Structure 1
Amino acid sequence: MKMDIASINALPYEDFVNIFGNVVEKCPIVTAAVWSRRPFGNLAALEAAINDFIDALPESGKEGILRCHPDLAGRDLQSGTLTQESREEQAGAGMDALNSAEASRMARLNEEYKERFGFPFVICARMNDKSNILRQLSERCRNEREAERARGIAEVKKICRLRLQGLVLTDAPNKL
């Protein structure tokens, strides 16, 4: 059930972290840190607080956020250990329905990517389909580390925005 911003601002710390702790995959510390920035004026202000926190992290912290993400169509999907959000997002992009050739290409590219960059490939699955994800993964393996870290964090922010939109009521337009 979606909450309005006033209800979100009134949440005790533990409830806030429990509800929003996975808007950045497996990084409840991000939402724990922004809880103290309440009250948020609206959904955009909550999202901005999260993005500001991420942007202020050192590069190692940003890579840490990227390392919390599972491989797309990887062993967490196969073994059923993905977070509910990731499972739904990957299924929506067709990652749970790869044929054997696609699955083997995805596994090989995921491994190549992690060896090159030291963190998993991150893309907003809800904004892509399996063919685009495979193409992006192949292309992004050629990027420089700094560019790819920045691209991964931009994708984390897209994922976060969509997850927040699933939890927070959009603000009612002002009545004139």
Structure 2
Amino acid sequence: MALGAARNPDPPPRCGGGGPEGRRGRAQEIVLRPPLERRLTAQRFRRELTLPEVLLWQELKGRRLNGLQFRRQHPVGPYILDFYCQTLRLAVEVDGEQHALDEHPARDAKRDAWFAQRGIDTLRIAARDILESTGGGSGRILEYVRARPLRPSGPPPPQRGGGS
């Protein structure tokens, strides 16, 4: 370091790679790293998946579902999502029976609203639906994807022919 140069004590936020374009040459949103405790909790959750989560993960991992990449037990803000697809900005939550009891519905609604404010949709799938049928969870995700309006990624294609 040159004499007199000031050191920046705060490193820049993490991006997808070297600069705003990221590793793959396309713009990526800046993702601030969650606190160490939350990252360690997410790692522990990845080792301790419930049976419905394991079954759904078998259908999602390795881009098996329409080429979509999902992360499991992914920390976002103060929460840890069961599954998350960045491309769709979709959180998938596997809900056991306890989610219908006591204060769970209100807590889930608050959590879903937090994600909605940040442009992340939440799809809740009952654990029993995953246990009762092979492909039950991934089928629900596909229904969601098909029902979602397509977002154009650029200008419309040029018109063929002589025009008007």
TM-score of the pair, normalised by structure 1? 0.29
Bigger share in helix? 1
Tell me which of the two structures has the higher relative contact order, counting C-alpha pairs closer than 8 angstroms and 6 or more residues apart. Answer: 1
